[in-house]
């Protein structure tokens, strides 16, 4: 088994066909077919059902998929770390929930980059499940997430909770009857609390699962929405958004989770966590 064969397998899965995989990898279709056949022969299992309409995973292929992503990711990480240019002695791989980049994610990144010029930094965004799997498999060293679950030798650092505040482009907007209200899904706990507070407000016409997208919508088209304070504050300072102070304020917990093995060699990590743990 080799990395090239696994990458080819992943390309077929991601694109849905051998033809599109060959285009993505910039090789002939016969090369893609040969690589897949070699991989299947090594494992003694058929990995893909090949049809005119495309390629689908067999049960064996489904089992291999997770490991293939981990193996190719670790290989990419190993090449990255061993190929560091002169002047760089180590690397920090940081996984961040996309919703947390604006605020604590950027603050962690800036703390590492500004304070440690000898360290390379690799940042990847992902869902809570992605981040958990990446950390457990060693693809990343530390993650910033809303989920406090840790696997094995990992340490969970609780950070100050995120404040979710109702903002509008109009300072006099109605809190419960704004026809331009945009619902932003901030997770299960938020949905429950929001539903209790606004049980009689009806269903919002527009909804997003991304604070960033909702913010752009408000800036472009107007309206009101619950957004993280750290994300909205610059636009409040510019006068483009206004906090509706009579509305309920919600909080969402967030956590920095680190692989203990990586943190052993980071004398800077504990002070940076302490800095991030200070109330805003």
Position 192 pLDDT exceeds 90: yes
Same domain, yes or no: 132 and 114: yes
Spatial distance between the Cα atoms of 101 and 112, rounded to a whole number of angstroms: 14
What percentage of the chain reaches a pLDDT higher than 90?
A: 46
Among 26, 44, 75, which residue terminates a domain? 75
Name the residue with tokens 């920095």: 256
CATH number at residue 30: 1.10.10.10
Same domain, yes or no: 124 and 156: yes
Same domain, yes or no: 218 and 87: no
Position 264 pLDDT exceeds 90: no
Same domain, yes or no: 187 and 202: yes
Same domain, yes or no: 65 and 42: yes
Among 75, 102, 130, which residue terminates a domain? 75
Same domain, yes or no: 166 and 91: no
Same domain, yes or no: 230 and 267: no
Same domain, yes or no: 150 and 116: yes
Same domain, yes or no: 33 and 100: no
- Count CB-CB contacts under 10 A for residue 214: 24
Q: Model confidence over 219-249: pLDDT tens digits?
A: 999 999 999 998 999 999 999 999 999 999 9
Q: DSSP strand E in the chain: where? A: 48-51, 54-57, 90-97, 119-126, 142-145, 154-168, 181-184, 206-208, 224-228, 242-243, 250-259
pLDDT of residue 77: 67
Average pLDDT, rounded, for the chain = 88
Same domain, yes or no: 228 and 263: no
Domain membership of residue 226 as a residue range: 162-252
Same domain, yes or no: 22 and 69: yes
Among 52, 75, 98, which residue terminates a domain? 75
The confidence band for 86, taking pLDDT boundaries of 50, 70 and 90, is low
Count of the separate structural domains present in the chain: 3
Spatial distance between the Cα atoms of 86 and 127, rounded to a whole number of angstroms: 34
């Amino acid at each position: 088994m080799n990395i090239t064969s696994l990458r080819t397998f992943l390309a077929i899965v991601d694109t849905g066909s051998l033809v599109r995989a060959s285009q993505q990898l910039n090789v002939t279709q016969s090369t893609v077919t040969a690589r897949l056949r070699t991989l299947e022969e090594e494992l003694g299992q058929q990995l893909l059902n090949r049809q005119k309409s495309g390629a689908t995973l067999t049960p064996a292929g489904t089992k291999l998929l997770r490991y293939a992503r981990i193996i190719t990711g670790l290989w990419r990480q190993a090449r990255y770390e061993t190929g560091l240019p002169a002047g760089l002695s180590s690397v920090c791989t940081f996984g961040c929930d996309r919703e947390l980049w604006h605020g604590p994610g950027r603050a962690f990144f800036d703390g590492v980059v500004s304070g440690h010029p000898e360290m390379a930094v690799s940042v990847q965004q992902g869902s809570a499940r992605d981040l958990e799997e990446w950390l457990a498999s060693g693809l990343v060293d530390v993650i910033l997430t809303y989920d406090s679950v840790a696997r094995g030798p990992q340490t969970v650092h609780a950070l100050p909770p995120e404040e979710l505040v109702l903002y509008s482009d109009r300072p006099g907007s109605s809190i419960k009857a704004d026809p331009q209200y945009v619902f932003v899904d901030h997770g299960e706990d938020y949905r429950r609390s929001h539903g209790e507070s606004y049980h009689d407000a009806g269903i919002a016409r527009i909804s997003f699962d991304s604070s960033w997208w909702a913010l752009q919508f408000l800036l472009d088209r107007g309206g009101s929405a619950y957004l993280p304070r750290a994300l909205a504050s610059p636009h409040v300072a510019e006068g483009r958004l206004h906090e509706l102070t009579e509305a309920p304020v919600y909080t969402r917990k967030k956590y920095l989770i680190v692989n203990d093995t990586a943190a052993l060699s980071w004398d800077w990590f504990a002070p940076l966590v302490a800095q991030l743990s200070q109330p805003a």
